[in-house]
């Protein structure tokens, strides 16, 4: 019996140690030498970091035919996608976004990851970027930096989902299909706006913030991290993970302790405030669209009715709300591709060129 258990353990280690089935991403930076923000502010040498997987395929006219744009969520980066639960389910041989077939483009948005952000040195003097600015920088990366003038699919999670709605409304003929995940096509209001304001108030009202010129992370960042943690999953999963009061407090403390080591208050403040202009003109969307949300999402709760109502305004659009289950994790289900990837497979088939 002991030998059998040892064998199972060794086999499990071998599986865990296996390298990903998809190619390693290539990383690079694209520099926009003078970027003008919607506010009128400008920034010299705006850096957009990005990852790509796969190679572009061009037709006889030189147009790329297999590019897919994938956009991340608030305070995240493209690195978040390179995990077994996302890339491991999508990018490998025979998988829905097989890197041998598709050219996958994954940018770090303004203020995030390896792209230009307040913590690089400008602190609170960094331009007050908004979603429109982030989408414009993505567009310049794709079209000028990577010489891609058409996208097979535009998709994103959470903030990236909202960017997907914006891509469809501002560049309506540039893509074959749109797949926003864990997002709504409407102005951020109600509780969604409130918790974001709670985060920015926690940082700005902290005397240690010092108008963005702090030398140590202000304690307000800890409250901001707590709110992000609270909103990201569902009550059922949080109870399973923390079935006692002591366990719940320990889980929250552990998360916020780690966040204080990796997050920057100005970066979080800017990232959360960047959504203030979000209100897509969805009536201009032309490409087929499949929107996927989750019934246990605290950020985009289905009982608001916004999802189903707004989708009716878009031609060739479908909305799917995936029910809560043992596999869902509230808002964070957007990165658990096993839960929703079959819908992606069917959507790609429906939108492939004849």
Shared-domain flag, residues 75 and 61: yes
Shared-domain flag, residues 169 and 138: yes
CATH of the domain at 160: 3.40.50.1820
Helix/strand/coil (H/E/C) assignment for every residue in 262-304: HCCHHHHHHHHHHHHHCCCCHHHCCCCEEEEEECCCCCCCHHH
Shared-domain flag, residues 64 and 171: yes
* Contact call for residues 73 and 333 (beta carbons, < 8 A): no
Among the three residues 246, 272, 298, which one is the final residue of a domain in this structure? 272
* Contact call for residues 138 and 163 (beta carbons, < 8 A): yes
Residue 1 lies in a domain: no
Q: What is the pTM of this model?
A: 0.93
pLDDT digits 0-9 by tens, 113-159:
999 999 999 999 999 999 999 999 999 999 999 999 999 999 999 99
As a whole number of angstroms, the distance between CA 298 and CA 14 comes to 37
Q: Quick one: which H or E segment has residue 47?
A: strand 42-53
Shared-domain flag, residues 172 and 132: yes
Shared-domain flag, residues 292 and 265: no
pLDDT digits 0-9 by tens, 11-21:
444 445 567 88
CATH of the domain at 197: 1.10.1740.110
Q: What is the pLDDT of residue 282?
A: 95
Residue 224 lies in a domain: yes
Range of the domain at 267: 191-272
User: Number of folded domains in the chain?
Assistant: 2
Shared-domain flag, residues 145 and 259: no
């Amino acid at each position: 019996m002991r030998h059998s258990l040892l064998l199972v353990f060794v086999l499990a280690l071998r599986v865990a140690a296996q390298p990903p089935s998809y190619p390693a991403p290539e990383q690079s930076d694209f520099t926009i030498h003078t970027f003008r923000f919607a506010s009128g502010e400008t920034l010299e040498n705006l850096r957009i970091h990005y990852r790509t997987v796969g190679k572009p395929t061009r037709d006889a006219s030189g147009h790329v035919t297999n590019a897919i744009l994938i956009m991340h969520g608030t305070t995240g980066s493209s690195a978040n996608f390179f995990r077994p639960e996302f890339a491991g389910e999508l990018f490998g041989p025979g998988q829905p976004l097989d890197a041998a077939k598709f050219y996958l483009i994954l940018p770090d948005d303004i203020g995030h990851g390896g792209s230009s952000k307040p913590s690089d040195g400008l602190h609170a003097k960094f331009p007050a970027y908004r979603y429109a600015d982030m989408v414009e920088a993505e567009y310049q990366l794709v079209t000028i930096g990577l010489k891609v003038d058409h996208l097979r699919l535009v998709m994103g999670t959470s903030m990236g989902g909202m960017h997907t709605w914006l891509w469809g409304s501002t560049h309506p003929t540039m893509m074959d299909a749109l797949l926003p995940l864990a997002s709504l096509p409407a102005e951020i209001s109600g509780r969604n706006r409130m918790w974001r304001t709670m985060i920015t108030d926690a940082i700005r009202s902290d005397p240690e913030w010092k108008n963005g010129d702090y030398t140590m992370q202000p304690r307000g960042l800890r409250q901001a991290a707590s709110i992000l943690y609270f909103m990201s999953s569902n009550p059922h999963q949080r109870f399973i993970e923390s079935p006692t009061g002591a366990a719940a407090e320990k889980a929250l403390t552990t998360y916020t302790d780690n966040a204080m080591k990796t997050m920057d208050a100005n970066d979080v403040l800017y990232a959360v405030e960047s959504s203030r202009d979000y209100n897509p003109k969805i009536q201009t969307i032309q490409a087929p669209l499949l929107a996927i949300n989750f019934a246990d999402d605290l950020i985009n709760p289905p009982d608001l009715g916004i999802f189903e109502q707004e989708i009716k305004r878009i031609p060739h659009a479908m909305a799917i709300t995936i029910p809560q289950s043992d596999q869902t994790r509230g808002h964070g289900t957007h990165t658990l591709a096993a839960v929703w990837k079959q819908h992606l497979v069917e959507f790609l088939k429906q939108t492939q060129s004849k």
